[in-house]
Structure 1
Amino acid sequence: MFDLGYLDYDRLGRIDAKRQTINVTATVGADRPGLHLPYNLRVIGVRHEDDEDAPVYRDDVDADHEYHLYATNLSAEAIAPRELAALYSNRWSVETVIQECKEVFGLEVIPVHQEAAVMCFLLAALLMLLLSRCLLRRVRAVLIPAAPDSVEEASLFGSRLLVE
């Protein structure tokens, strides 16, 4: 499918029409000796689940692409493309929660050293984060009413039950 930078657009179109995943393995740095070279790199393209029935050309949606690309050194036998996409999605969620805790609640340095105290401190921070997101969602709903089919209206945590 890929040869020296050549992309077979016909084949990519057929993959897209059949809603398949793109799964390519390449050897990086095979011609250069080095400490960590050469190694196999696997690039996977997974069609975005939410765009299954969306038209091909959309000007009204601010989305990056219909396919999400992932690069990994895990072999095809180790993990399937959709599993890898779910793994990266979960990893990204954890990283954004940690980043938000650091920025909003000042958790750059945890001021305690005992393991039990650290766990208590982190659980309290996660609880504050959950409550702040719930309150933010409710304030946004009051100040800026969302469209009926908006993602903002759907909540996995049942925000109405938490607030009311």
Structure 2
Amino acid sequence: MSDPADPVTGLTWRQKEAVRESWGKLSSEWKTHGVEFFIRLFKTYPSILAYFKTFDGMGFDAIHSSAKLRAHMLNFKHGITSFVDNLDDVECLTVLIYKMTENHFRRQITVNEFQDALTLFATFIQEVTQCDDFTLGAWTATLTVISSVIRDHMTLLQSLGDVV
């Protein structure tokens, strides 16, 4: 049976299904996993924590129980869900990634920070879901597509300067 790749994203139907299925499992327990992911992100990349001024002076225990962290990790979940839900609608997916990129660009978050977070996210998915190599590869390919759109759009936003 043939599993042709999407001409724009390069993702196959099987890869998209693997991502959808694993995200369904992971997102169903995101209230626990989301907090764990962000704490791990902040510990691994302390420079990213600096963008969260609301956590200034707070220890990891206080951040862990913070309503603001729970709210942010739920926004993250909704963003990833919208990306996963639109893997077959590349135009909509692109607009969703652009909007998220613009929101973070205004906060001076760079492509490198996105890359760090997405790389850690792939590792996190593998550890938490104990997914097989195919699913991990599907996530890696999907996050590479997302990262590429973020990078290209950030480059455009930087060239526009104060217009955005």
Q: TM-score range by the shorter chain?
A: under 0.3
Which structure's CA Rg is the greater one? 1
- Of structures 1 and 2, the one scoring higher in RCO (CA 8 A, sep 6+) is 2
TM-score, length-scaled by structure 1 = 0.25
The structure whose residues are more often helix, as a share, is: 2
TM-score, length-scaled by structure 2 = 0.25
